[in-house]
Chain A
């Protein structure tokens, strides 16, 4: 009432509410654990995880490695929240052989639930949008390079790969590619399902019987390529691997002409 001098109750501001929450010891300790965990996952995502992955020899592989780093960083605070609360409550456990006394009868907290849903949906949206943008730019790059691409027809057969270069008239069991030239892989299987996986190029697609699947990339770094089969195809699936090299254009031409019937463009 307006003439009740000085006895009006002030509602706490949101800032004061937050400060009051953080004044509680349990909140501070749990938050500290959470921050520590977030930091650990940040380091894992940024430096340890990438150290396990092979050398990127195409922009596709590079963007995969970048995506893994970024998704780990997005997940780090989630890990922090989950593990921060877990560690705190674990350390704050009841010891003894009889059950503890009842805790506070908290049934729900609308603000927490609502905030959780909104934030997790937002993070989910970020991941979705990031992924869609990546996919879009990859297919745009493909469309652009299709005309100039070196075509390699990949045949998966139980249990070895063979590569046919129609333009060069070469067939080989090794996948050699010239650097910086877009390459279009056309993959097919003559028997069961295989999966063509040139590891360092960051692309993969199944080899299906009588159905050609296509994948494009551009190798942009010199070095050795590993080509593996990523779909169980029977007895010697483990041995269905070969290697190859990304080499300079001159070396590639030399390799082509060293094959009987091979001719450069």
Chain B
């Protein structure tokens, strides 16, 4: 009255079980693959350019390398600066990539061009330059060791999980903001003189190979709590990875 007895043989049932289980495992696998792909870094990695020179610090000799990044108020500004960003959202972002690769045991000189305005840091500590050679950075030709908390546009802060299998690396670079009244620093339409904003240059020595992260410590997200929403909470705009290899 309520259904027929099954005519399935034991072997047919076992086959149905194996196929069924494999099928469902495959479904989970497809979900995993989709999430993995969605997590891939949007940009290709940005490699530091090695140079032939060396430098001696504290009696040890290090090869040199350089790398340049910029931070742009939105996609339009990034494109104007010649960086073809494939970030999906029109947020403030670092470019040309959020994943940089630095050589190990190297004296790295990094240049960051910053074109954005700013308000006030949440945590004043991040207005100080930390982790560079001499504890200073060069802003448009002048060496400074910190920037007042209300003159920062973004920070570039490298840190990592302390771990026994990699050397510690902590760098904090506050970027001098572009004052809207400072006509000399604003971007212009003339492509030749377009590199306005402020240029920050600093150097540090990398340790052994390891994976690190970087993020901005400045509230440049949207109007939410502490202004850390939107761009600040989405991976790849104001946060990324540093590979020392």
B145 and A260: CB pair below 8 A? yes
A236 CA to B126 CA in the complex, in Å? 17
| Complex contact B215–A191 (CB within 8 A) | no
Q: Are the CB atoms of B215 and A173 closer together than 8 Å?
A: no
Contact yes or no, B235 A160, CB < 8 A: no
The verdict on A75 contacting chain B, using a C-beta distance below 8 Å, is no
> Once the chains bind, are B215 and A234 in contact (CB under 8 Å)?
no
**What residues of chain B lie closer than 8 Å to A243, measured between beta carbons?**
162, 168
Asked whether any CB of chain A lies closer than 8 Å to the CB of B213, the reply is: yes
With A157-B217, A160-B157 as known contacts, state yes or no: A191 contacts B228, CB within 8 Å: yes
* Interface contact B161-A162, CB-CB below 8 Å: no
Quick check: B172 and A173 within 8 Å, CB to CB?
yes
Interface string of B154-181 (1 = CB under 8 A from A): 0001011110000010101000000000
Interface pair B123/A236, CB less than 8 Å apart: no
- We find that the number of chain B residues with CB closer than 8 angstroms to chain A is 29
Assembly CA distance A190 to B125 (angstroms): 12
- Classify chain A: how many residues form its interface, as a range: 20 to 34
Confirm or deny: A88 has a beta carbon within 8 angstroms of a beta carbon on chain B. Answer: no
- Residues of chain A within 8 A of B233, CB atoms compared: 234-235
A-B contact count (CB 8 A): 67
Interface string of A151-181 (1 = CB under 8 A from B): 0000101111010100000010110000000
0/1 string, A13-47, CB within 8 A of B gives 1: 00000000000000000000000000000000000
Given the complex of chains A and B, what is the CA–CA distance between A242 and B213 in angstroms?
A: 13
A171 partner, pick from B128, B145, B157, B159, beta carbons under 8 A: B128
> Of the candidates A171, A190, A234, A236, which one forms a contact with B122 in the assembled complex, judged by CB atoms under 8 Å apart?
A190
Chain B residues, CB < 8 A from A191: 122, 219, 225-226, 228
Which partner residue on chain A sits nearest B164 by CB separation?
A224
A241 on the B face (CB < 8 A): yes
| A235 and B235 within 8 A (CB) | yes
Q: Does A141 contact B (CB under 8 A)?
A: no
Instruction: Say yes or no: is A239 at the interface (Cβ < 8 Å to chain B).
Output: yes
**A172 to B203 CA separation, bound complex (whole angstroms):** 19
CA distance A158 to B238 in the complex (A): 12
Interface assignment of B232: CB less than 8 Å from any CB of chain A: yes
What would be 6 A-B contacts, judged by CB atoms less than 8 Å apart? A155-B123, A157-B217, A190-B123, A236-B215, A236-B239, A243-B162
Given contacts A162-B126, A192-B228, 9 further A-B contacts (CB under 8 A): A155-B125, A159-B215, A160-B126, A173-B172, A190-B122, A191-B122, A209-B225, A209-B226, A241-B161
Interface residues in chain B, defined as those with a beta carbon under 8 Å from any beta carbon in chain A: 122-126, 128, 130, 135, 145, 157, 159-162, 168, 170, 172, 213, 215, 217, 219, 225-226, 228, 232-235, 239
Query: Which residues of A approach B to under 8 Å, CB–CB?
Result: 155, 157-160, 162, 164, 171, 173-174, 190-192, 209, 226, 234-236, 238-239, 241-243, 260
